[in-house]
Chain A
Amino acid sequence: DTGVSQDPRHKITKRGQNVTFRCDPISEHNRLYWYRQTLGQGPEFLTYFQNEAQLEKSRLLSDRFSAERPKGSFSTLEIQRTEQGDSAMYLCASSLEGARGYEQYFGPGTRLTVT
């Protein structure tokens, strides 16, 4: 299967702990996106990478959040000093730059529960 993969699928952590999620995009896709989805809501954009460059960040991405995409391949999203309000599904998507680059393909998500 060559779809977007995310790891872990579920994470339970205590408030104040740091967590890190990983996303592996579709292999030829050079664009990568992170979104957050809470219950009953649509996904909300967090950040966007083109290759290894982080080109756009949402105001939702507070300074406790950091994302990286070393070498333009996989990406990590780290949340420091987690809060209960961080509990959500974190979704990664990828797309291919070009005429149809607006098609974003999503992974299965990482569900975070902060206790």
Chain B
Amino acid sequence: QKEVEQDPGPLSVPEGAIVSLNCTYSNSAFQYFMWYRQYSRKGPELLMYTYSSGNKEDGRFTAQVDKSSKYISLFIRDSQPSDSATYLCAMRTDSGYALNFGKGTSLLVTP
């Protein structure tokens, strides 16, 4: 079993909807949590990052970390067709350097 699990989708929503993406993990030593957006055949683009537990908001994006449940979420408000992409969660420990990624969730926002 992989350390980071993420439902690959695809997830299809109408424009303007609130999107909820999430990952679960098994390694309790993970402390840094990130969300990346990846368009087809491009490199991942860093969207959000949080340390330990809590919420962080940036524009239409909110990241949540619940370490007690080993569960992280990314919410996208007022979704736009330009948000259509694959969203990857990633995390690492305090002492490690490697990011551990989920498989990514494919999101399609339809006009």
Contact = CB atoms under 8 A, between A and B. Distances in A.
Interface of A: 4, 6, 31, 33, 35, 40-45, 48, 55-56, 58, 91, 102-109, 111
Nearest to A46: B98
A110 to B, nearest CB: 10
B90 A48 contact: no
Interface string B76-109: 0000000000001010100011111111100000
Contact of A105 (B46, B88, B98, B100): B46
Given A42-B88, A42-B102, A102-B92, A56 B97 contact: yes
Contacts of B92: 102
Interface residues of B, number: 26
A41 B103 CA distance: 5
Contacts of A40: 8, 103-104
Given A102-B49, A102-B92, A44 B101 contact: yes
Contacts of B102: 42
A43 B86 CA distance: 12
Nearest to B104: A42
A48 B32 contact: no
B90 A42 contact: yes
A44 B46 CA distance: 16
Given A91-B43, A107-B43, A43 B49 contact: no
